[in-house]
Amino acid sequence: MRGHGQLLGLYVPGQSLLHRTPLALKALLCVGASTPVVLIRQPLTTAAGLVLFLLLMTVGARLPPRKVLGALVPALPVLALLALYSWFTRGPESAFVVPGGIAVCILAARLLTVTTPGQELLDGLVRLVRPLRRLGADPERFALALSIMVRSIPYLVGSLSDLRDAAKARGLQRSPRAVVVPVVVNAVAYAQATGQALAARGLGEHAEADDVDGADGSDADGRDGA
Amino acid sequence: MIRFSDASVTAPGEDGGSRTILHPVTLELGEHRISVIGANGSGKSTLLKLINGLTLPTSGSVSVDGLDTARRGREVRRRVGFVFTDPLSQLVMPTGREDVELSLRGRIRRADERRAAGMRVLESYGIGHLADRSIYDLSGGERQLLAIAVVAAVEPAVLVADEPTTLLDLRNEQTIRAVLRGLPQQVLFTTHNLSFAQESDRTLVLDGGRVVFNGEPAEAVAFYQELCLR
């Protein structure tokens, strides 16, 4: 399996200004600067957003430009398709504004992930959703689920690349079924394996799940015996 | 002490009936190192998964230190760590540092202390320098070492490893074997490597979902070889 961590980016250790900035401030900056770009949808705002985040990443986080632009490479095919579609349906302005807004969001998300250690992000998420505890939500579970979702993206992208190569090797590169079906099967298998790994490590389990009598043959966690 | 009391596992069969994966087994496992050998599909992994409640017995019961795996699953999993054959199934975070810190979240509240403790764990396994590398960029041996480290980080009383050396080359296999030998915990492992199986105090041989031999490793290996040649 290939590693495909580029889209959201792995944490890059460093001592830059943004590395030292508290997570809450960084998150506010990212949300505060990307929201107007998405809402206003003017070429000038989009261009300003792109320039701002490129500067934040290269100057503020001291990341090499190649690494910064590399964040957008996996999304380029989708952005190009969006640009084409927007051009035909709404004109050239939309062809820049729509994919540009998405690119800004990708850069904003990447800015957070590359300058913040994963566990700090997890702690931040737990703090963010803590008020929902009153409604019965489990902040630790929520944060764990979200971080696993983020971790799954590179896996699924890698799975897609591997299966595309496998289809090509068998001369089936023109058959979408030869790629789509195994990707779905792999995704389900991956989800099951991840669930099993979490259960094996006792992660994400409710404290109150214990001591519940599985009289019907199911266990306290609701899993079947087999 | 791990106790199987008439524990069996069945699964729905294709014809609408049920298929027996593990026939009723009664065992007491207290030795420091226990190996399990047998052909593919003989029930080895199911036997191991019963120990930390990943699989629950359809009939009978399994307990660890007196805790029933079906009723006290969470406490059992705190005592029993599980290492999978493929470490990529087990590692759920993008880097080793984050994964080991995830293991420690339940034990250490303060982020800085957790970070330091996680680093100590990785260094104790000689993989501190790989802490921030993507798990996809690690070699098979490094990944398996990391998988053992993240499980052992929470100091379980028992460590169960399902074919931990199957995907490894000879050098990495030796490394993992040495690491497992050095663990203070009770270790149970399945393997197809018969010399590895003999690095234990007791060996179980499984065949067709039944424990057909339970005893001294050298005798168990001889029994298994004879069984395969029949």
What residue segments make up the domains of chain B, in order of their start? Answer: 2-229
CB A164 within 8 A of CB A170: no
Cα–chain center distance at A187? 16
What mean pLDDT is predicted for residues A207-221? 37
In 3D space, the residue among A49, A7, A11 whose CA is nearest the CA of residue A31 turns out to be: A49
Amino acid A222: pLDDT? 35
- Angstroms from B72 CA to nearest CA on chain A: 6
Q: Does the pLDDT of residue A212 top 70, yes or no?
A: no
What are the C-alpha distances in Å from B73 to residues A49, A217, B53? Answer: 50, 14, 6
Chain A residue numbers with beta carbons less than 8 Å from the beta carbon of B56 are 214, 217-219, 223-226
pLDDT band at A88; cut points 50, 70, 90: very high
Between positions 9 and 28 of A, the ones with CB within 8 A of B are: 10-11, 13
What are the C-alpha distances in Å from A121 to residues A19, A52, A72, A116, A131? Answer: 12, 22, 22, 6, 17
Helix (H, G, I), strand (E, B) or coil at B61: strand
- Using the beta-carbon criterion (under 8 Å), do B136 and A1 form an inter-chain contact? yes
Q: Is residue A221 within 8 angstroms of chain B, CB to CB?
A: yes
pLDDT band at A31; cut points 50, 70, 90: very high
Digit-coded pLDDT (tens) for B77-91:
889 999 988 888 788
Task: Pick A154 or A130 by higher pLDDT.
Answer: A130
Q: Is residue A93 within 8 angstroms of chain B, CB to CB?
A: no
Pairing of strands B18-29, B202-207: unpaired
Pick from A118, A144, A202: which is nearest to B74 by CB? Answer: A202
CATH for B2-229 is: 3.40.50.300
Digit-coded pLDDT (tens) for A140-192:
788 788 778 877 777 787 788 788 888 888 887 777 788 888 888 988 888 88
Residue in chain A closest to B118 (alpha carbons) equals A119
Query: What φ, ψ does residue A54 adopt, rounded to 5°?
Result: -65, -40
Amino acid B167: pLDDT? 80
What are the C-alpha distances in Å from B103 to residues A96, B42, B77, B85, B90? Answer: 44, 31, 12, 19, 12
**Separation between Cα atoms, residue B166 and residue B162, nearest integer Å:** 9
Amino acid A206: pLDDT? 54
- Using the beta-carbon criterion (under 8 Å), do B105 and A214 form an inter-chain contact? no
Amino acid A214: pLDDT? 34
Query: What φ, ψ does residue B107 adopt, rounded to 5°?
Result: -105, -35
Amino acid A8: pLDDT? 53
- On whether ipTM exceeds 0.85, the answer is no
Q: What percent of chain A is predicted at pLDDT more than 90?
A: 32
CB A91 within 8 A of CB A108: no
Task: Pick B91 or A221 by higher pLDDT.
Answer: B91
pLDDT band at A208; cut points 50, 70, 90: very low
Amino acid A218: pLDDT? 37
In 3D space, the residue among A123, A98, A95, A91 whose CA is nearest the CA of residue A27 turns out to be: A123
In 3D space, the residue among B154, B92, B146, B100 whose CA is nearest the CA of residue A146 turns out to be: B92
Chain B residue numbers with beta carbons less than 8 Å from the beta carbon of A209 are 73-74
- 10-residue mean pLDDT profile of chain B (230 residues): values are 94 82 94 94 93 92 94 90 86 86 85 90 91 86 91 92 88 89 93 94 95 95 90
For residue A87, the one-letter residue type is W
pLDDT band at A226; cut points 50, 70, 90: very low
**Separation between Cα atoms, residue B75 and residue B173, nearest integer Å:** 31
CB A86 within 8 A of CB A99: yes
State the average pLDDT for chain A: 80
Pick from A2, A10, A193: which is nearest to B94 by CB? Answer: A10
Amino acid A223: pLDDT? 38
What mean pLDDT is predicted for residues A37-41? 91
Q: Number of Cβ pairs closer than 8 Å across A and B?
A: 138
- Using the beta-carbon criterion (under 8 Å), do A117 and B53 form an inter-chain contact? no
Q: Is residue B55 within 8 angstroms of chain A, CB to CB?
A: yes
